[in-house]
Structure 1
């Protein structure tokens, strides 16, 4: 990984995340504006097809899904002797989950209560699904760009994985279990965690 890119980007992501966390704890007006606008845009039109689709999308970052996919990837990495890859993905996901748990219990933001479409428990900020989306699927995208040899593989992977990373946070707001500021902050924290793992573990470039 090019540390000239990963370190500044992860630093900016951490600063932006901290700004969101401060805004949430201080009940800032701009946080309310983001949430109100985002909810109006994402939850403006409920349809059975959209609900079924986004309910399926949200399952891609469920804790059980994340644990299973990460474990399978790490096992594959060990068997194929790609230990750096396994360590990178494992560290990214585990660190993201640990930070999520700590911050959720510090901030203790209640979840939205209006018109929930699925049951969910625990605190709202930051979105664990959004962290998982970036920490796992984002890590896969980094590995594909580093190691895939064929350009079409990189292009297809980018389209699919970026779509998943975007749709998972949208699904959490649509289903009524997170505010838009929760999922934006989650993406930022997941990005910072994933890039920090890449900087530490993956082969370095000047």
Structure 2
């Protein structure tokens, strides 16, 4: 009986790491990324609530950016940030959805709807859970009444650019194209996150939490839709 039980466990583990299985390696990797992202987000949120760790660095980083803000960079950053607002990302996601609809890529369309609009709703929910106030300055560059943690701009941009990178990685034939897609996605997310801290709209922990939040949600959406497609095909 013990031998049979061990065999079952080994077969289960082997099936979870089989690249071609409908519940194989891709699902295992997605779940692992989601669990890791959840753990990291929990650590950041715990530090913010307890005012320890990275939360102690938040004020110093925000004050440094505020002290070094100057034109014409401020105007450039304001425009760049506006181009990555939640509304702008929603429009971009709509155009991408139209592209998938025209190409009849139903599973990618489903994954997009879950990842970007779904991620935005998750971000709003988390903001109301933590209800963190935004940074306060004598002469603020932006004046926002909504909550700060986690960053909506950063979260939405991470979902959009991360989704585009996943699509290119899974469909492009050239290895170089895949690498460039990932690097460009990382660069754009980093620029959006930096712009929000530079403008004084968010703390460092806000943008980091937004990135982690969307990475975990994106892994869940991509993996879930891929599993659904594989099961239908099987």
* Count of matched residue pairs: 204
Q: What is the CA–CA distance in structure 1 between the aligned matches of 2:34 and 2:80, rounded to whole Å?
A: 26
1:106 is aligned to 129
Q: What is the CA–CA distance in structure 2 between the aligned matches of 1:22 and 1:104, rounded to whole Å?
A: 14
1:159 is aligned to 183
What root-mean-square deviation, in Å, do the aligned CA atoms of Structure 1 and Structure 2 show? 2.1
Preserved contact between residue 132 and residue 148 of structure 2 (Cα < 8 Å): yes
Query: Of 194, 197, 205, which aligns to 2:218?
Result: 194
Which stretch shows the higher mean deviation, 55-64 or 190-199? 55-64
C-alpha displacement of 1:19:
2.0
2:149 is aligned to 125
In structure 2, the gaps of 5 or more residues are: 1-24
SS at match of 1:29: coil
Following superposition of structure 1 onto structure 2, how do residues 46-85 of structure 1 map, counting pairs within 5 Å?
46-85=69-108
In structure 1, the gaps of 5 or more residues are: none
Which whole-Å deviations, capped at 9, do the CAs of 1:49-75 have from their partners, x for residues lacking one? 332332232123212111111111111
Are residue 176 (structure 1) and residue 223 (structure 2) matched?
A: no
**TM score, norm. by length of structure 1:** 0.89
Runs of at least 4 residues of structure 1 off by over 3 A? 40-44
Preserved contact between residue 118 and residue 177 of structure 1 (Cα < 8 Å): yes
Query: Of 138, 145, 165, which aligns to 2:169?
Result: 145
Which whole-Å deviations, capped at 9, do the CAs of 1:103-158 have from their partners, x for residues lacking one? 11121111111142123230001111111111111111011011011334323323
Preserved contact between residue 89 and residue 140 of structure 1 (Cα < 8 Å): no
